[in-house]
Amino acid sequence: MCFSASASFGASAILAVAGIAALKKTETSSQIMFASIPIIFSILQFIEGFVWLTLTHSNFSQLQSIPTTIFLFVAQAVWPFWLPLSFLLIEKDKRRKMMLKALVGLGSLASLFLAYRVLFHPVSAAITPFHIDYQLSFSYQQYSIIVSIFYFLATIIPPFIAGGKRMISLGLLNLTSFIITIIFFENYVISVWCYFAALISLEVFLAIKDLNAKPRLTPISLDLIK
């Protein structure tokens, strides 16, 4: 979160509740990954709360690399694989499943590359006014643009492929939050984008609810019986 450790921990608790509510609405195991998206955001906020603590309390400063690395690993290495796969598992249309499989492949490549960057290269975090600026040292910058494109496609496009009013709404919210973050918080994309997690998580809950909504039975007309 963009404000403080307490804000991050508070957001984590709220997102965890949203995730639990979404999981309770699932009816098949294939829906669990999708319903767990708020839990992923909750974990990110919880970890970032510890990043704030290591940056604001000198007693914890030596531990800074631990929560920073975990946060970046989840945000950059887990997310581009998790999101498209969660949509693939709930999709039933064969043509859409093929497109989602392609995005899972791109997301997997991005995840592997970013996991290597986070785990085997120096990472750090610093506070600027009300934000955390994450820094990653990496020598293969020529690949960053390609990986960024793979990341974008894997994390933004799946809701639009899934289709349906609720999924499109989720996709638009996700895309809008990303664009706003890029335009107004260019140096804090990793941290600030998660600020929109609450709204996205609400859409996930509603999408799960819609997926499992029972069709209403149309009353039989007495004229038809006659």
pLDDT tens by residue, 140-151: 666 778 998 999
* Reported confidence tier of residue 33, pLDDT bands at 50, 70, 90: very high
Angstrom distance (rounded) from CA 4 to CA 9: 9
* Reported confidence tier of residue 213, pLDDT bands at 50, 70, 90: confident
Helix or strand holding residue 128 (H, E): strand 123-128
Say if residues 163 and 96 touch (Cβ distance below 8 Å): yes
- Alpha-carbon torsion 200, 17, 189, 192, what sign? positive
| pLDDT of 160 strictly over 60 | yes
| Residue 90, token pair as written in the block | 């709930």
pLDDT recorded at residue 50 = 92
| pLDDT of 113 strictly over 60 | yes
pLDDT recorded at residue 176 = 85
* Domains assigned to the chain: 5-225 (1.20.1070)
Say if residues 3 and 47 touch (Cβ distance below 8 Å): no
Angstrom distance (rounded) from CA 116 to CA 93: 34
pLDDT recorded at residue 89 = 95
Biggest distance spanned by C-alpha atoms of the chain: 83
Angstrom distance (rounded) from CA 164 to CA 28: 19
Taking Cα atoms as reference points, which of 157, 160, 152, 146 lies closest to residue 193?
152
Q: What percent of the chain has pLDDT over 70?
A: 83
Q: Say how far residue 114 (Cα) sits from the centre of its chain.
A: 15
| pLDDT of 226 strictly over 90 | no
Highest mean pLDDT among 25-29, 130-134, 208-212: 25-29
